[in-house]
Amino acid sequence: MWEHRRVNRHAPRPLGRTGLRVSPVGLGMAALGRPGYINLGHRDDLGPDRDRASLEARAHDVLDAALAEGVRYVDCARSYGRSEEFVASWLAGRGDDARDVVVGSKWGYRYTAGWRDDADVHEVKEHTRAHLDAQWAETRAALGDRVLLYQIHSATRESGVLEDADVIDGLRRIREGGVAIGLTTSGPHQADTVSRAIGLGVFDAVQSTFNVLESSVGEALAAAHAAGMGVIVKEAVANGRLTDRGDADRFAARAELLGASPDAVAIAWVLAHPFVDCVLSGASTRAHLRSNLVGLDLDVDPAAFADLSEDPQDYWGARSGLEWN
C-alpha cells in the first residue's frame, strides 16, 4: 500500500520534469465552460441562466475564488465548450495577479452540443494528426502563449493514438516550441495506457481518473512519477458520487467520522499519495470549491478506504450511465 502524507496547501510543487510549478489543487473547467456536464446536480448548480455571458461570468467568479485560495493550475479542453475563451478573458482581466497561473488544455474531442444540456451528442472523439493540428491552432488562437501543457484528451488502448507515429511527431513539434505535452486517460484499462506512455518516453505529464472507488491506475501513476512525468488527477469525487449527493454511503459515513464532507475527504485521499502533483477540483460554484479545498488540511490514510474500491469495469459502467445535465 502506498505511503501517505500530509499536504501543505501553500506549497506549489514541480509538475514532474515540465519545469512548471502547480498548486496541489487545480481547477478543471469541464463544468464551467459549457451548460451541460455529467456531474451529479450540475443543472441545479448552474440554475436557469445558461447563456454564454452568464456562464462566462460564473467561470470568472469561480476562477477569482480559486486565485484567492492559491489555486495555480487551470485545466481546459477544446471540447469544454468555451472554456479556453473564458479562461483567456479572465487572464486578460487579472493581469499580473494571475501571472503565475499555469494553464493546460487538451485536444481530441470536438464540442458538438450546440450550447444545450440535452443534446443527443455532446462531444465527438477524433485522434488524428489533422485534428491535433487544427485544435492546436484553435487553442493557440484562444490562449496564446499562456497554454503551457497540451494533452491528448482521453487516450485509450482502443483509440490507438499512442501507436500513431504521425500524432506523436505532431506532439513532439509542439514540445519543441516550449510547451509540455501530456495525455489524459479514461476507461477500465487506464493502467495499460499509462504504462505505454511511459515506455514511449516523450510525454511530460499524465492526467488520470483516480479516486476511492477507482484506484486501479495507482501503481502505473506511481511509475510515471518515478519516470519524471507530472501526475494530475481528475474526477477525484467521481463526478459527484463521492459528495453528499452521491451513492457511496459507506464512504460518506467514514467521512462523517472524520468530521469532514465527503468531497473534502475524497480530495485528501488523492493528495495523500506521494506520486500526485495536482488534483483537479471540478467545482462549478464557489461553495463547492471551498468545500473541496478543505481536503488540503485533512490527514487521510488511503489504506483506511481500500475496501471501497470498485471493479474498474463496474465503475466505468456506472460512469457511462451518468446523465448529462
pLDDT of residue 9: 54
The 8-class DSSP code of residue 38 comes to S
H-helix or E-strand containing 35? Answer: none
H-helix or E-strand containing 2? Answer: none
- What CATH number corresponds to the domain at position 146? 3.20.20.100
Would residue 8 count as lying in a domain? Answer: no
Percent of the chain with pLDDT over 70: 97
Helix (H, G, I), strand (E, B) or coil at 157: coil
Would residue 253 count as lying in a domain? Answer: yes
The domain total for the chain is 1
- Mean pLDDT within 168-189: 98
pLDDT per residue over 35-88, tens digit each?
999 999 999 999 999 999 999 999 999 999 999 999 999 999 999 999 999 999
- For 44, counting Cβ atoms within 10 Å of its Cβ (0-12 exposed, 13-18 middle, 19+ buried), the class is exposed
Query: What gap in Å lies between CA 37 and CA 31, rounded to an integer?
Result: 6
Would residue 3 count as lying in a domain? Answer: no
Would residue 6 count as lying in a domain? Answer: no
Query: What gap in Å lies between CA 56 and CA 51, rounded to an integer?
Result: 9
Q: Under a CB-based contact definition with an 8 Å cutoff, are residues 141 and 149 in contact?
A: no
Would residue 1 count as lying in a domain? Answer: no
H-helix or E-strand containing 75? Answer: strand 73-75
Alpha helices in 112-261 (DSSP H): 129-143, 165-176, 190-200, 218-226, 249-257
pTM: 0.96
pLDDT confidence band for 10 (50 / 70 / 90) = low
Question: Range of 201's domain?
Answer: 13-320
